[in-house]
């Protein structure tokens, strides 16, 4: 049996690679980063930074054209039924500008802001999720974004006009054995004696990959000796599918999003020109992480659009459907679900718009906010889809084609439910997002106390860490005991009680984080259950602040009511997390260990075993 104990050397190597790819400094303000330190940076959210009307007007014509094309050219049920988006529809979308929104105008693009781009992809997602994935795979994390951020002028001139004119792009990072751990990457690019590189390897689940004309491919390049030992290097390359050595091996099929092109790609002895190395040797993983900071913001926008469709569906259905003498929406069992859906959709939109606005305004560090927005909206949209299906009941479980065939309204709840599940997996699973946020949140503490958490640190380093801590934390701790008074003027009066409670919880959370670091030290990184709850609490606190600030910006009673209900839900969740004992995590981990040691095989008695299922010999591929 494979050992269940992690290999210390492999753990250290994976940690080194991830740490070296991090943006190690934070030179700009961040509401979420300050929250983890016990400081509520109210000036960063109040008043809510709404999109300038002039910027919104820029996207108006495209949004109007995009909606017309979506309605005229794309039947979402037919796309799923046929697993195909008509080529004519893709061409019409390209003509409308839907595939050149994030390319600068100087290269033939539209130069949209992140907010406008998000609204356009969200509009597509509200009609057909597969179309949104085509658009996002090309622009959010495709070639244009990393090229715009890190490309040379020659690289931009060579490729951005092509992408603006219709070439499709993709981003190839994941491999069959390398998901969230880049240390396991096997695709390699070796220097060629005549110059340039030779690429060999394969990439999995590459969105748009089987159809792409141009791709960003991550590959290992020769190790470098750093600090007396070899370090793995990951580099980024611009490649073209027309080059010899490229093969789209397999187009993957999924439980949702019929019509997308995602698959297994293979590179065999592909020659890459020297000038197609992007940014520099060994900088590929950092490039990928920076690209994903903005790239993953598409998901909050599209998730919010799907949630809005759910609001529309349940509002009409719960009012029209009558049981037991009245509309089902009047029954409390259904009404509480309606309230959850409406209030959480309001918070999702506030989170999505705020995070996108941070990118547009500049001058802030939005890494944590972007990850929080992705985590929050991915988790919540699935809850909303689940509740929508429950409210629609049997009609929710029935496919649109079946509903239409028997002459009733064909709301696509079943499809929405299946597709909503993907969001908790792509562009960083929820578990990875929690660990990413936790690492960023702990960074200021690690800068001061890091030596105390590392067993290999010298006594001198630990003594210096103690001195730094002694000079900072006593006064900091006293400051976190001061609850603060009042709320910003921009917060509506009915919500100010929530604001005061939130401020107290922010300070309490910061004290708990510091206590956990001192108590657990190096073991804290393994307390992933506690870290996850800490992050979820911070996400809920951030969402509370944004919902209240957005309600103040809107200035209407309806927004205040929605923000109030959301805050009540968030407070309830936070209190529940406080009562979850860490020993429950340890008990669960112990049972998991025994499960993997085959101690509970009786649980599998009486079923048809998996060896009756056809398939390949490699379960990991």
User: What does the alpha-carbon distance between residue 617 and residue 621 come to, in Å, rounded to a whole number?
Assistant: 9
What is the block-wise mean pLDDT of the chain (621 residues), using blocks of 10 residues?
Answer: 70 75 78 96 96 98 98 97 96 97 98 98 98 97 95 98 98 95 95 98 97 98 90 97 98 97 98 98 95 95 98 98 96 98 98 98 94 98 98 98 96 98 96 95 85 79 85 88 89 98 96 89 89 98 98 98 98 96 94 96 90 58 55
| Residue 107 structure tokens | 């290269």
Nearest to 291 by CA among 141, 160, 182, 118: 141
pLDDT at residue 612 in the model: 59
What CATH number does domain 296-428 carry, 3.30.479.30, 1.10.10.10, 3.40.50.620, 1.20.140.10?
1.20.140.10
What class does CATH assign to 8-29+433-593? mainly alpha
Extract the runs of DSSP E, i.e. beta strands, from 133-179.
169-172
Tell me which CATH code domain 53-165 carries.
Answer: 1.10.540.10
Q: Is 556 left (phi over 0), alpha (psi -120 to 50) or beta?
A: beta
Give dist(CA 184, CA 135) in Å, integer. 29
* pLDDT at residue 525, rounded to an integer: 86
Per the listing, tokens 């690289």 go with 155
Given phi > 0 = left and psi -120 to 50 = alpha, else beta, which region is 507?
A: alpha
Q: Nearest-CA neighbor of 528 among 592, 599, 449, 576?
A: 592
CB 151 within 8 A of CB 104: no
Q: Rounded to 5 degrees, what are φ and ψ at 333?
A: -60, -35
Report domain extents, the chain.
Answer: 8-29+433-593, 53-165, 169-282, 296-428
Indicate the Cα dihedral angle 20, 21, 24, 26, nearest 10°. 180
Torsion (CA) 50, 425, 189, 232 in degrees, nearest 10? 90
pLDDT recorded at residue 2? 54
d(CA 487, CA 504): 12
Helix (H) or strand (E) holding 553: helix 528-554
Interhelix angle 114-127/53-73, nearest 10 degrees: 20
pTM check: above 0.85? yes
Q: Rounded to an integer, what distance in angstroms lies between the CA atom of residue 603 and that of residue 377?
A: 35
Closest CA to 265 of 246, 243, 242: 246
Residues with catalytic roles = 427
- Rounded Cα distance between 409 and 58, Å, is 36
- In angstroms, the CA 273 to CA 275 distance is 5
CB-CB contact of 342 with 313 (8 Å): no
- Predicted confidence at residue 341, as pLDDT, reads 98
Report pLDDT for 455.
74
Burial (CB count <10 Å: 0-12, 13-18, 19+), residue 156 = middle
Residue count of the chain: 621
What is the token pair recorded at 618?
């490699």
Residue 393's pLDDT is what? 97
Domain 8-29+433-593 and domain 296-428, same fold? Reply is yes
Q: Give per-residue burial for 227-246: e unless 16+ CB within 10 Å, then b.
A: eeeeebbbbbbbbbbeeeeb
The CATH number for 169-282, chosen from 3.40.50.300, 2.40.110.10, 3.30.1490.20, 2.60.40.10, is 2.40.110.10
Q: Which two tokens stand for residue 36?
A: 């983890």
Alpha carbons 347 and 327: distance in angstroms, whole number: 27
Q: Which two tokens stand for residue 225?
A: 């000796």
Sign of the CA dihedral 410, 413, 419, 423?
A: positive
Q: Where are the beta strands (DSSP E) in 92-228?
A: 169-172, 188-191, 197-207, 214-226
Residue 619: count of CB within 10 angstroms of its CB? 7
């Amino acid at each position: 049996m494979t050992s269940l104990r992690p290999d210390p050397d492999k753990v250290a190597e994976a940690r080194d690679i991830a740490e070296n790819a991090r943006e190690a400094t934070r030179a700009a303000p961040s509401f979420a980063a300050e929250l983890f330190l016990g400081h509520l940076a109210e000036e960063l959210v109040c008043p809510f930074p709404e999109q300038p009307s002039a910027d919104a007007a820029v996207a108006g014509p495209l949004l109007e054209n995009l909606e017309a094309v979506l309605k005229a050219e794309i039947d979402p049920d037919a796309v799923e039924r046929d697993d195909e988006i008509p080529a004519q529809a893709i061409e019409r979308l390209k003509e409308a500008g839907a595939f050149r929104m994030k390319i600068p105008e100087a290269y033939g693009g539209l130069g949209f802001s992140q907010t406008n781009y998000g609204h356009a992809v969200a509009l597509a997602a509200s009609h057909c999720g597969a179309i949104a994935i085509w658009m996002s795979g090309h622009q959010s994390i495709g070639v244009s974004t990393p090229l715009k951020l890190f490309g040379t002028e020659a690289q931009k001139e060579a490729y951005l006009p092509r992408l603006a004119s219709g070439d499709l792009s993709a981003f190839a990072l994941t491999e069959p054995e390398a998901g969230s751990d880049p240390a396991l990457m096997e695709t390699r690019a070796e220097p060629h004696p005549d110059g340039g590189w030779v690429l060999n390897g394969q990439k999995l689940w590459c969105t748009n990959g089987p159809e792409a004309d141009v791709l960003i491919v991550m590959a290992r390049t020769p190790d470098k000796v750093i600090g007396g030992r070899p370090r793995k290097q990951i580099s980024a390359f611009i490649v073209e599918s027309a080059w010899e050595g490229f093969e789209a091996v397999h187009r993957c099929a999924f439980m949702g999003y019929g019509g997308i092109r995602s698959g297994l790609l293979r590179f065999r002895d592909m020659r890459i020109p020297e000038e197609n190395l992007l940014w520099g040797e060994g900088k590929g993983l950092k490039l990928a992480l920076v690209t994903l900071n903005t790239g993953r913001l598409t998901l909050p926008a599209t998730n919010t659009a799907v949630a809005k469709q759910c609001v529309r569906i349940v509002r009409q259905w719960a009012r029209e459907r009558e049981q037991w003498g009245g509309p089902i929406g009047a029954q409390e069992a259904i009404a509480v679900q309606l309230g959850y859906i409406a209030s959480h959709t309001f918070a999702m939109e506030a989170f999505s718009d705020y995070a996108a606005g941070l990118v547009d305004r500049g001058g802030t560090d939005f890494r944590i906010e972007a990850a929080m927005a992705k985590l929050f909206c991915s988790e919540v949209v699935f809850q909303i889809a689940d509740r929508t299906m429950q409210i629609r009941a049997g009609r929710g479980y029935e496919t649109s084609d079946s509903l239409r065939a028997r002459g009733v309204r064909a709301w696509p709840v079943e499809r929405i439910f299946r597709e909503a599940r993907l969001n908790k997996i792509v562009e960083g699973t929820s578990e990875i997002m929690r660990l990413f946020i936790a690492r960023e949140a702990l960074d200021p503490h690690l800068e001061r106390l890091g030596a105390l958490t590392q067993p290999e640190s010298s006594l001198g380093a630990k003594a210096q860490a103690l001195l730094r801590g002694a000079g900072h934390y006593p006064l900091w701790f006293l400051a976190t005991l001061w609850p603060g008074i009042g709320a910003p003027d921009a917060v509506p009066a009915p919500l100010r009680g929530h604001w005061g409670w939130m401020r107290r919880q922010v300070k309490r959370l910061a004290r708990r984080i510091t206590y956990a670091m001192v108590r657990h030290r190096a073991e804290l990184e393994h307390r992933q259950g506690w870290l996850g709850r800490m992050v979820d609490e911070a996400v809920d606190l951030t969402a509370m602040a944004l919902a209240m600030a957005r309600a103040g910006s809107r200035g209407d009673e309806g927004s205040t009511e929605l923000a109030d209900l959301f805050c009540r839900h968030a407070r309830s969740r936070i209190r529940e997390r406080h009562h979850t004992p860490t020993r429950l995590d340890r008990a669960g981990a112990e049972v998991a260990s025994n499960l993997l040691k085959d101690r509970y095989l009786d649980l599998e008695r009486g079923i048809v075993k998996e060896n009756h299922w056809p398939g390949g010999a490699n379960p990991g591929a």
